[in-house]
Chains A and B, each alone.
Chain A
Amino acid sequence: MTSPVFDRIVEIIAENSDVAPEKMTPDAHVINDLGIDSLDFLDIVFAIDKEFDIKVPVEAWTQEVNAGKAPAEQYFLLGNLASRIEELVAAKPAGA
């Protein structure tokens, strides 16, 4: 069972890369498993930012991972990415 946010992220990735939708399972790592390169990932993040009217904090996530403060899976497994997006959407100020 996937969420509407997960399903929309899958659509966005499909629109911005050559990854087949059937590969996009919740436990797929967006870089390591799906092979999305950094430029396509930037397009995907831009599309997610616009779609959900948020600013995905990719830099902060990457810094946390590089500093060993969080596992990469926390942010970059597709299912977890969808959960982080849902949290960001929920944390938006009312009326934003």
Chain B
Amino acid sequence: MRLEYFQMVDRVVSLDAESIAVTCTVPMESPVFEGHFPGHPILPGVLMVETMAQTGGWLLMALNGMARMPFLSKVGEAKFRGFVTPGAELAVRSRRTHDGSGYAVTEAQIEVAGKRVADAEITYRLLPFPDAALEQAMRAQAARLGLPGLA
């Protein structure tokens, strides 16, 4: 994870017709932890949401063949069940629960050492890439993550 660059996902572990699993390693050091919190560094809940959102985003891009970019439109039922500290290895899963017309809904969760620390229902709008440079950057990231078939 490169928190300052909002690169939350490190590696795609598996992908099937409706779900994805990825791994993310929380860095030992980051300016984020200087403020959140001094003497008690923990990953902000909002970045856990971002991690789940990006995981589902990669799932949806894989399922639509990188034809569209998923943009976050709603976060529902988000729960933060435990602290995530520097160095933690996150196992993140996302499953598409609804494939709508121009939108999709997913359920995502984060586990650390087999224990669930966060989950949420996340809705995305699926829009054409607004910029060729963005599409190119997403394809490069897909290759970096090992997203099957999209390198």
Interface residues on A, range: 10 to 19
Residues of A within 8 A of B125 (CB): 42
Q: Is there an interface contact between B101 and A56, defined as CB atoms closer than 8 Å?
A: yes
Q: Is there an interface contact between A46 and B123, defined as CB atoms closer than 8 Å?
A: yes
Q: Is there an interface contact between B101 and A43, defined as CB atoms closer than 8 Å?
A: no
Q: Closest CB-CB distance, A87 to chain B, in whole Å?
A: 15
Question: Which residues between 66 and 121 of chain B lie within 8 Å of chain A, taking CB atoms?
Answer: 73-74, 98-103, 105
Question: Which residues between 40 and 63 of chain B lie within 8 Å of chain A, taking CB atoms?
Answer: none
A50 CA to B97 CA in the complex, in Å? Answer: 11
Is chain B's binding surface mostly helix, strand, loop or mixed?
A: strand
A22 on the B face (CB < 8 A): no
Residues of A within 8 A of B98 (CB): 46, 49-50
Q: Closest CB-CB distance, B60 to chain A, in whole Å?
A: 15
Q: Is there an interface contact between A58 and B73, defined as CB atoms closer than 8 Å?
A: no
Is chain A's binding surface mostly helix, strand, loop or mixed?
A: helix
Question: Which residues between 39 and 57 of chain A lie within 8 Å of chain B, taking CB atoms?
Answer: 39, 42-43, 45-46, 49-50, 55-57
A58 CA to B99 CA in the complex, in Å? Answer: 13
For the complex of A and B, list the 3 residue pairs with the smallest distance between their C-beta atoms, beginning with the closest.
A59-B102, A58-B101, A59-B101
Interface residues of A (CB under 8 A from B): 39, 42-43, 45-46, 49-50, 55-60
Known: A55-B100, A58-B102. 13 other contacts (CB 8 A): A39-B74, A42-B74, A42-B123, A45-B100, A45-B101, A46-B103, A46-B123, A49-B98, A55-B99, A56-B101, A58-B100, A58-B101, A59-B101
Could you list some 24 contacts between A and B, CB below 8 A? A39-B74, A42-B73, A42-B74, A42-B103, A42-B123, A45-B100, A45-B103, A46-B98, A46-B100, A46-B105, A46-B123, A49-B98, A49-B100, A50-B98, A55-B99, A55-B100, A55-B101, A57-B101, A58-B100, A58-B101, A58-B102, A59-B101, A59-B102, A60-B101
